[in-house]
Amino acid sequence: MNTIEIRGLEVSACHGVLDFEKVKPQKFIFDAKLTVDFLSALKNDDISATVNYAEVCALIEKITKENKFNLIEKLALECAFSILENFGGVQKVVLTCFKPEAPLPQKFENVSVTVELERVKAYLSIGSSMGDRQANLYRAIKLLGETRGISIEKVSAFIETEPYGGVAKNKFLNGAVSVTTFLPPHALLDEIHRIEKACGRVRKKRWDDRTLDIDIIFYGDKTICDETLIIPHPDYMNRDFVKIPLKSIAPHKLT
């Protein structure tokens, strides 16, 4: 991978928590570093085979001028998100938003925030043991695909399995889904919880029957272990209801 860097892009706009910042434009400055594979562009000298940095600048300018956010954190995130949404050739973006005219009483050179987002492939396990199980899974897939920052790549066939964990009484319908996402891992988990709730899941007892269960099995090559999220999923190798559907869409993940 190679990089395209934009430095010092200046845009006049209205962002801030104070009332006057909503009406009086001030200067915002952007640096953006884009990870792009432009080898074919080098070979053929063809702009269509790379990312047009003029279009990236125009997009940042458009977002900055057409919105009024309280926080430059929100502004930077929106710009980074939109770059990945609109330029499929960008694998990763690191974007810094500077606010040199921030209303601070102290003498300072600049205030800035930096957002880093990366396009990765994630693998999810989905299951349901209550209600119309197939409809629950199809709805979950639909809601995943409609979530900003998530694109569905592959969906396995569904299999019926015995309950796992010794609490649930009903048989499960299980499947696997591969997605491309630039949501950070915990943000992806938040969206999964939102979708589970929208599909009627009520969390009462661990391992109990549920309308929908979605687990993140892999998130790129990342390893995560904290109080809310462990990736790769710690128990996936002991679960045939995960391995069988996953193997059908990503056999390389189980070798």
Residues carrying an active site annotation: 99
What size, in residues, is the chain?
255
Angle at 48 between CA 181 and CA 54, to 5 degrees: 80
The tokens for 165 are: 């964990």
Dihedral pair phi/psi, residue 137, rounded to 5°:
-70, -40
Q: What is the DSSP secondary-structure string of 133-161?
A: HHHHHHHHHHHHHHSTTEEEEEEPPPEEE
| CB 92, CB 34: distance < 8 Å | yes
Choose among 93, 82, 85: nearest CA to 118.
93
Residue with tokens 């930096």, as numbered in its chain? 114
Rounded distance between C-alpha atoms, residue 237 and residue 178, angstroms: 17
Angle at 122 between CA 181 and CA 209, to 5 degrees: 110
The tokens for 61 are: 């300018």
Helices (H), the chain: 39-44, 53-66, 72-86, 133-146, 185-198, 240-249
Q: Which amino acid is at 80?
A: A
- CA torsion sign for 247, 242, 215, 161 is positive
